[in-house]
Amino acid sequence: MPDPAIPALLAREAFDAVIVDMQHGAIDFSTALRAVPLIAAAGKPAMVRVPVGEFATASRFLDAGASGVIAPMINTIEDARRFAAFMKYPPVGERSWGPHGALALSGMQPGDYFQAANGLSVSLAMVETREALGIIDDILAVPGIDGIFIGPADLSIALSDGRELNPLSAEVEEALDFALSRVKAAGKVAGIYATSGARALELANKGFHLISVASDGAFLRHGAQMALAAARA
């Protein structure tokens, strides 16, 4: 939702991090930018999902003090390399210097931030197509890619050749297990989107490290439904 008060409010709940979604969310660049220090003020890492292919935007969010970026539809090695290049300073990548918000929020000296930044800025490549699954080892091997983030909805569309949207399908489940085993073999991080808290628990039990538990709109709808059900009972 396009208001920084929403991630600020959610950051005060018991989440480990808050993800601002610029791929499908209606939030614009400057509004999302304002969310970063509000999330950080709650002591939580601010993460941003950038629109498809907008790797320069990833750098700008790191400059503003975001702790990590999720890049959707990383379907080729070149996509992964370009994403990593914008996320990491040399010698790993080609990130350009100018971390105004990261310095202000962390209080670090520029030289110290420069030394630490590549380890502080988490880059997660979204695996959500057949192509990406097929080259998952190569994506994970790209220097500067810290892990993957699975999009089970798009994956279900891809794996069914466009026949269905079913993030809980047997095919998706099999792909999740495969992806997770590859991430573990690479010693990197596995993230995934869950459509509910109950699903998030299942995915945590499988071994995923970072799990997005539904969305602001879903929370609002759920809260409204609960209150109405109680009132109408």
- The residues binding Mg ion (CB under 5 A) are 128, 151, 154
56, exposed or middle or buried, with CB in 10 Å at 0-12, 13-18, 19+?
exposed
Partner from ligand 3PY, Mg ion, none binding residue 193, C-beta < 5-8 Å depending on class: ligand 3PY
> In the chain, where does DSSP find H-type helix?
5-11, 29-41, 55-64, 77-87, 100-106, 110-120, 130-134, 136-141, 152-159, 170-186, 197-206, 216-232
Quote the tokens at residue 100: 């105004």
Tell whether residue 191 is a contact of ligand 3PY (CB under 6 A).
Answer: no
Question: Shortest distance, CB of residue 16 to ligand 3PY, whole angstroms?
Answer: 18
Quote the tokens at residue 17: 């991090």
Of 83 and 89, the one with the shorter C-beta distance to Mg ion is 83
> In 88-151, where does DSSP find H-type helix?
100-106, 110-120, 130-134, 136-141
Tell whether residue 65 is a contact of ligand 3PY (CB under 6 A).
Answer: no
Tell whether residue 79 is a contact of ligand 3PY (CB under 6 A).
Answer: no
Of 83 and 193, the one with the shorter C-beta distance to ligand 3PY is 193
Question: Shortest distance, CB of residue 88 to ligand 3PY, whole angstroms?
Answer: 23
Q: Which residue is nearest to ligand 3PY (CB)?
A: 151
Counting residues that bind ligand 3PY (by CB under 6 A) gives 8
Give the residue carrying structure tokens 């890619």.
145
Partner from ligand 3PY, Mg ion, none binding residue 68, C-beta < 5-8 Å depending on class: none
Residues labelled catalytic: 24
Of 37 and 51, the one with the shorter C-beta distance to Mg ion is 51
Tell whether residue 153 is a contact of ligand 3PY (CB under 6 A).
Answer: yes
Question: Shortest distance, CB of residue 134 to Mg ion, whole angstroms?
Answer: 17
Quote the tokens at residue 8: 């600020």
Distance CA 82, CA 16 (A): 28
Rule CB under 6 A: choose which of 54, 63, 128, 146 binds ligand 3PY: 128
Rule CB under 6 A: choose which of 61, 83, 89, 193 binds ligand 3PY: 193
Distance CA 194, CA 7 (A): 18
